């Protein structure tokens, strides 16, 4: 079954399951547009300033890298799931700069999953996300929990048979 044909519930997120992310190529125009609105530091808005910085080129803001990671998660599995959002982020590391023209890809791996006692019908799944550039260099590592509805709870709410 194709992932796009299946709605993923809490029960589908078992430890060790991996989801591919990307690829996404980031352009200079996208870097400048994002930075101009959200992080207008010179290394993110001006190519010459980026080259002169320790980053070595026009570089995406770490927040832009995080936003691209989020979009890749959405496209890979979140839109096809019973996601109820996330309570926060445990780790967000920007290990290398993302330079204009870089192509990012990676994966999300389920680390653990448990039912929430405080919210029947909801489980929380902890993920580790890793992104690399086209040279195989890790540019971003993140870990966070995401809440998902359980399939059995959804069936009960809609009146479907289990």
Work out the pLDDT band at 38, boundaries 50, 70, 90.
very high
100 within 8 A of 44, measured Cβ to Cβ? no
Domains of the chain: 15-155 (3.10.129.10)
Q: Percent of the chain, pLDDT > 90?
A: 90
| pLDDT over threshold 80, residue 158 | no
pLDDT at 161 over 90: no
Beta carbons of 141 and 127 less than 8 angstroms apart: no
Q: How far apart are CA 121 and CA 132, in angstroms?
A: 35
51-101 residue pLDDT tens: 999 999 999 999 999 999 999 999 999 999 999 999 999 999 999 999 999
Split at pLDDT 50, 70, 90, the class of 162 is very low
**Tally of CB atoms within 10 A around 27:** 12
Higher pLDDT, 5 or 48: 48
Across 11-18, average pLDDT: 98
pTM of the predicted model, to two decimals? 0.91
């Amino acid at each position: 079954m194709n992932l796009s044909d299946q709605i993923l519930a809490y029960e589908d997120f078992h430890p060790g399951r991996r989801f591919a992310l990307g690829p996404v190529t980031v352009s200079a125009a996208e870097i400048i547009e994002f930075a101009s609105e959200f992080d207008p530091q010179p290394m993110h808005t001006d190519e010459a300033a980026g080259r002169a910085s320790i980053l070595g080129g026009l570089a995406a803001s770490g927040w832009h890298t995080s936003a691209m990671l989020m979009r890749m998660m959405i496209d890979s599995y979140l839109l096809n799931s019973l996601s109820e959002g996330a309570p926060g982020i445990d780790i967000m590391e920007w290990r290398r700069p993302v330079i204009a023209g870089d192509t990012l890809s990676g994966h999300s791996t389920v680390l653990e999953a448990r039912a929430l006692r405080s919210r029947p019908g909801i489980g929380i799944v902890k993920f580790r996300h890793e992104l690399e550039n086209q040279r195989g260099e890790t540019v971003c590592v993140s870990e966070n929990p995401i809440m998902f509805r359980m399939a059995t709870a959804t069936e009960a709410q809609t009146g479907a048979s289990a």
